[in-house]
Structure 1
Amino acid sequence: MPTECIPYKETNYFSELILDYLAQKEKLKPFYNHFPEIENFKAQIEEKTSFPIENREVLVQSLKKQYAETVVSPATSKNIDRLSQKTTFTVVTGHQLNLFTGPLYFLYKIVSTINLTKILKEKYPEYDFVPVYWMATEDHDFEEISFFYLHGKKFKWVNAEERAGRDAVGNLSTNGLDEVYKLFSAEIGGGTNAEHLKDLFKKAYLQHENLTDATRYLANELFKEQGLVILDGQHKELKDLFIPFAQRELTEQLSYKTTHPKTEALSELGYNVQVNPREINLFYLHDGLRERIIESEGRYFVHDTEIEWSREEILRELEEHPELFSPNVMLRPLYQEVILPNLCYIGGGGELAYWLELKDYFEAEKVPFPVLLLRNSALIQNEKINEKREKLNISVKELFLKPHELINRKVRQISNIDIDFSPQKEHLVQQFQHLYEIAEQTDKTFLGAVKAQEVKQLKGLENLEKRLLKAQKRKLEDHVHRIAELQNSLFPNQSLQERQTNFSELYAEYGEGLISTLLKELNPLEAEFKILTFGK
């Protein structure tokens, strides 16, 4: 398959923080332990050998309960059993329970995770490595997960329960998704691949009662042959393991004390802080609600409810019902590393940004901090689109320009007149430099007048350049339209394809070859953006 790569920096879609992390800038080294290079995983393995064997036993039993109603592939079953062995480690990615997987990068996350376990096995054959998808069942941002895009159209789950947005999304009933199914079926059309997608949607969402079970079924069907293990952290047995850490969160507010200085340090370095920690980073799950816990003057309250406890009462509630205490985005990473023998977390740029705030917290809790790896990113096109790009003389790198920048560049290149007035502007600046010298020698009060005249004339040249460019665009209207149409097809809503397009749009065209090609082409340790060209 034809593939091309460009550095992440040249895509103009990644933050300065992530680019500096990939470049291993010295100023960011205090925020992580081991950079994701294959040789560094040996030290990570040695650090994680301290993972308690009793935690492994709890994990395996919990997973078997979670898979009780799911047809488990031999590969996944074997991986679950392997987790009881002290020589087995995990690689984890996490994602929200987006409707029908949401944006395309859901696949990239999981493929990156599966492929890294294969690479690790080749390098360290004496160990086993299991890919894990952590379902964000305890999240409550319903608006973010309630839709997906297909052929530029938005398919939204509008008949969800009233509690949507306050309850943990994994608990939501799948009622109302039959309407989405009807609209989706009409849009996806016919053919073998389309029929498979309809069947997949129907079995996932119309034959399972809640969003957790539906998502588990869907992800399992897509990746069961690769042995993917799908984990729901909202289980009492797993929450039992986290009780000591949750106790310290309630009584010592350790996460805030250790992460707040890190967020300030990142801010002082000029980076945008992804997540600001709360003093208590736990939610309480109660009667269809997930609300944050607040401490004030020695008493604990559940925000926007009448629930409150003394210190002794809330600690007793935690001991008796740990499943009702839900970690937020700052605490969930620690919970993950407490219940999994994990080496590496694979996520997008926004996720790695908040993980970089957490290293000191992990050290304070004496839990090994995992390797942080940016997931693969890719742009998928077919040969027909690629041929159009070549005919329009647009390079792969130029595809990532802003629309107006790309069009202006191409119009200038194909015009029979020179619409770049940079030489004239430079000549004008040189002329005015001489006038500045004359004014300086005669009457300095004229400096302002000279400056005003310079600005006026430069502005005049810029306006003339814009008018000529606009006129040439009209003259080349058909060419401009084809450029815009090409870029819009690959960058819907002027965004990366992977952040907008649902996998079903590509699966309908390429079928099983979509996932098999991603598994073949995406190497998570190659820190470059890939462009994959599928056959017609």
Structure 2
Amino acid sequence: MPTDCISYQNSGYFSKLIIDYLNQKPELQSLYHRLPTAENFLPQIEEKGNNFPVENRKVLVESLLQQYTNFTLSDTSLHNIELLKQPNTFTITTGHQLNLFTGPLYFLYKIVSTINLSKQLKAKYPNYHFVPVYWMATEDHDFEEINHFTFKTTKIKWNKDSKGPVGRLSTQGLEEVYAQFEKELGVGDYAKYLKESFKKAYLEHATLADATRFLANELFKEEGLVIVDGDDVNLKQLFAPYVKRELLEQASFQNVTATNKALAHYDIQVNPREINLFYIEDNLRERIVFEEGKYSINTTKTTFTESDILAELENHPEKFSPNVILRPLYQEVILPNLCYIGGGGEIAYWLQLKSNFESNGVTFPVLLVRNSVVIATAKQVQKIDKLDLSWSDLFTKQHDLIRKKTKELSSLTIDFSEQKEFLKQQFITLNDIAKRTDPSFIGAVKAQEAKQIKGLENLEKRLLKAEKRILSNQLERISMIQNELFPNGGLQERKQNFSEFYLENGDQLISKLLSELNPLDKDFTLLIV
């Protein structure tokens, strides 16, 4: 089995900003509070403990227990909720959309990273308690991003109109999706479990939020996972003072805009609006806009004076929903949270937000890039060994990989670098002669040099092409194994659903993830199932 490790930085799948963050570039220090090391969590605990109101803990626990009404909680999860009342209990949080049947594999990796970090911190700091939290993105509205998942090569899609927050969306119509999924799964005990899980989650719960809660709880309840729905009137009441400030001062626009200017040489993930709030109802999620001295709800005729909208906030805080700029602040206001675990894109936009946290007097969490995983079967590993491939090879773009392996496998030397260098040295002499005779001759010499170099490059390409034909069988096997592990030339974790692997491995899939993922590691995890 290949033994080389692939760091996130060298994988080719992370942005420059995340690579520089992982490499601890000094110019990024102002964008984060503390780096994700085990030692840095103690000062984070002390700071968050001093800045998190005790009364918020009571509201949080009451809201969580209410949210779990009609759900069967494991003793571990219930214990963790009760622990949140205590001032020495803190959370480790990840968030994710309400993807149909969890969506891509990395849903699992986020939650496992969160659970495992909680365990590691408990071992290091036994006088404190650490609760893994999954924050459901119930107030999102982009239904097209979450209404499908891929099982093997089949896209299973839920066709439905959606206008308001997705968490409130009725699960009516998912019977047809279940029928399609059931056919794809076939028979067997693991197939039966997957069918029952889908049926219980989506056909026996009224909303997408409840269905997602059931499924995540089913998969991770024995690990003490606590699931939070931010679309909650009592939790929104805790956030109301920050909403008021956003309405009256629009400070987040100024703060994040200033940070974005400092990040101009990176790809910016999110851009703030003057007011970073939505107004939501069951079938409505629209921006709040301030124009000509009045607040209006975008695309509607609803308007408010300042006093009217503040009264609306006081009476109906649940109608005010933070967008991507303010949602992290909301999370950190209502949770005694130490660390946010997310993918590269998420961590990139969190790095834009620290100044806004400071402006609001809220402790900025430690930011940790979630574990990334490539799952391979023992049979696939045998193929990789026979083909003499390393993991570094498999992470290479296929065009470059085939070119590299052709050169390695060929009995010929398909590299004319030595000849090109020799040719260049010859033309240095010719150029010198031209300079000492007729300067007009220099252009002709350079043209001839370019022609000769180009000729060698063309010969090299033709030779490479000929060797590819000769080695086609072996190169095809290399392409096939890479395509299996990197579908459509991308990461497996972003394409495939967990059910495809659960069908073959059952509970061992999650057990192996829990045993092998180290959240503080910066290398891809290569999981053999």
Shorter chain as denominator, the TM-score bin is over 0.9
- Taking the TM superposition and a 5 Å limit, the aligned residue runs for 1:47-62 are 47-49=47-49, 50-62=51-63
In the aligned structure 2, how far is the partner of 1:207 from the partner of 1:30?
48
Which of the numbers 523, 526, 536 marks the counterpart of 2:521? 526
Q: CA deviation digits over 1:266-294, x for unaligned, max 9? A: 11xx2111111111100011350101111
**Retained in 1: the 8 A contact 2:277–2:288?**
yes
Counterpart selection for 1:458 from 453, 460, 470: 453
Query: Helix, strand or coil for the counterpart of 1:5?
Result: coil
**TM superposition shift of 1:522:** 0.4
- Structure 2 distance, partners of 1:76, 1:389, is 41
Q: What is the rounded CA distance, in whole Å, between the counterparts of 2:152 and 2:282 in structure 1?
A: 39
Matching residue of 1:103: 104
Decide whether the 8 Å contact of 1:255 with 1:361 is kept in 2.
Answer: yes
1:404 aligns with 2:399: yes
Alpha-carbon separation, structure 2, partners of 1:149 and 1:8: 25
Provide the C-alpha distance between the structure 2 equivalents of 1:512 and 1:276, rounded to a whole number of angstroms.
41
With over 3 angstroms needed to count, the CA separation of the structure-2 counterparts of 1:460 and 1:2, relative to structure 1, is closer
Question: 1:10 maps to what in 2?
Answer: 10
Q: Provide the residue aligned with 2:206 in structure 1.
A: 209
Q: In the TM superposition, what is the alpha-carbon distance from 1:445 to its structure 2 partner? A: 3.2
Q: Does residue 127 of structure 2 align to residue 130 of structure 1?
A: no
Q: Name the aligned partner's letter for residue 481 of structure 1.
A: E
Partner of 2:231: 234
Distance 1:204 1:387 in 2: 38
Query: Which aligned pairs between 1:56-95 and structure 2 lie closer than 5 A?
Result: 56-95=57-96
Q: Give the letter aligned to residue 5 of structure 2.
A: C
1:237-276, aligned counterparts within 5 Å? 237-267=234-264, 270-276=265-271
Question: Which residue identity lines up with residue 287 of structure 2 in the other structure?
Answer: R
Q: 2 CA distance for matches of 1:169 and 1:444?
A: 73
Aligned to 2:435: 440
Which residue is 1:117 aligned to? 118
Instruction: Single out whichever of 53-62 and 149-158 deviates more from structure 2.
Output: 149-158
Q: Please say if 1:277 is aligned against 2:278.
A: no
State the AA in 2 paired with 1:11.
Answer: S
Distance 1:4 1:442, change over 3 A: closer
Query: Aligned AA for 1:24?
Result: Q
The separation in 2 between residues aligned to 1:192 and 1:313, in whole angstroms, is 58
Corresponding residue SS for 1:410:
helix
Quote the residue 1:33 is aligned against: 33
The alpha carbon displacement at 1:112 in A equals 0.3
Contact 2:2 2:389 in 1 (8 A): no
Counterpart Cα distance in 2 of 1:3 and 1:285: 51
**Alpha-carbon separation, structure 2, partners of 1:2 and 1:443:** 59
Moved more, 362-371 or 18-27: 18-27
CA distance in 1 between counterparts of 2:404 and 2:24 reads 33
Query: Normalising by structure 2, what TM-score?
Result: 0.98
**Alpha-carbon deviation of 1:4?**
5.9
> 1:143 aligned to 2:144?
yes
- Distance in 1 between the 2:507 and 2:276 partners? 41
Task: Quote how far apart the aligned CAs of 1:452 are.
Answer: 2.7
Residue range with higher mean Cα deviation, 461-470 or 322-331: 461-470
Letter paired with 1:36: P
Helix, strand or coil at the partner of 1:111: helix
Q: Report matched runs for 1:90-489 at 5 Å.
A: 90-158=91-159, 160=160, 162=161, 164=162, 166-267=163-264, 270-286=265-281, 288-489=283-484
Q: Which amino acid aligns with 2:19?
A: L
SS of 1:454's equivalent in the other structure is helix
Distance of aligned partners of 1:325 and 1:482 in 2 relative to their CA distance in 1, 3 Å threshold? same
- 1:274-325 Cα shifts (integer Å, max 9, x gaps): 1111111000113501011111121111111111111111111111111011
Preserved CA contact (<8 Å) 1:4 1:530? no
Deviation at 1:458, TM superposition (A): 2.1
Deviations 1:424-469 (A, max 9, x none): 2222222222222223333333333333332222222222222221
Structure 2 stretches lacking a partner, 5+ long: none
Aligned to 1:504: 499
Deviations 1:55-79 (A, max 9, x none): 1111001001100011111000001
Aligned length: 528
Give the one of 498, 505, 517 matched to 2:512.
517
Identity of aligned residues (%): 60
Would you say the 8 A contact 2:2–2:390 is kept in 1? no
| 4+ aligned runs moved over 4 Å, structure 1 | 1-4
Moved more, 247-256 or 8-17: 8-17
Distance in 2, matches of 1:337 and 1:473, equals: 56
1:43–1:418 Cα change, 3 Å: same
Q: CA RMSD in A?
A: 1.4
Provide the rounded CA distance (Å) in 2 between the counterparts of 1:287 and 1:48.
34
On the 8 A contact 2:3/2:390 being kept in 1, the answer is: no
What SS does the aligned partner of 1:531 have?
strand
Give the Cα–Cα distance (whole angstroms) in 2 for the partners of residues 388 and 34 of structure 1: 43
Contact 1:2 1:532 in 2 (8 A): no
Deviation, 1:332, is 0.1
Q: 1:467 to 1:243 in 2, by over 3 A?
A: same
Structure 2 SS opposite 1:214:
helix
User: What TM-score does the superposition give when structure 1 sets the normalisation length?
Assistant: 0.96
Amino acid at match of 2:113: S
Gaps (5+ residues) in structure 1? none
- Whichever residue aligns with residue 194 of structure 2, its letter is L
Query: Cα distance, 1:3 vs. partner?
Result: 7.6
**For the residues of structure 2 that align with 1:512 and 1:224, how far apart are their CA atoms?**
13
Give secondary structure in 1 for the equivalent of 2:10: helix
Deviation sequence 1:388-408 (CA, Å, 0-9, x none): 001011111110000111111
State the 1:111 CA deviation.
0.3
Q: Please give the secondary structure, in 2, of the residue aligned with 1:130.
A: strand
Distance 2:138 2:4 in 1: 36
C-alpha distance 302-445 of structure 1, shift in aligned 2 (>3 A): farther
Supply the distance in 2 between the matched residues of 1:433 and 1:304 (Cα, whole angstroms).
Answer: 69
2:5 counterpart SS class: strand
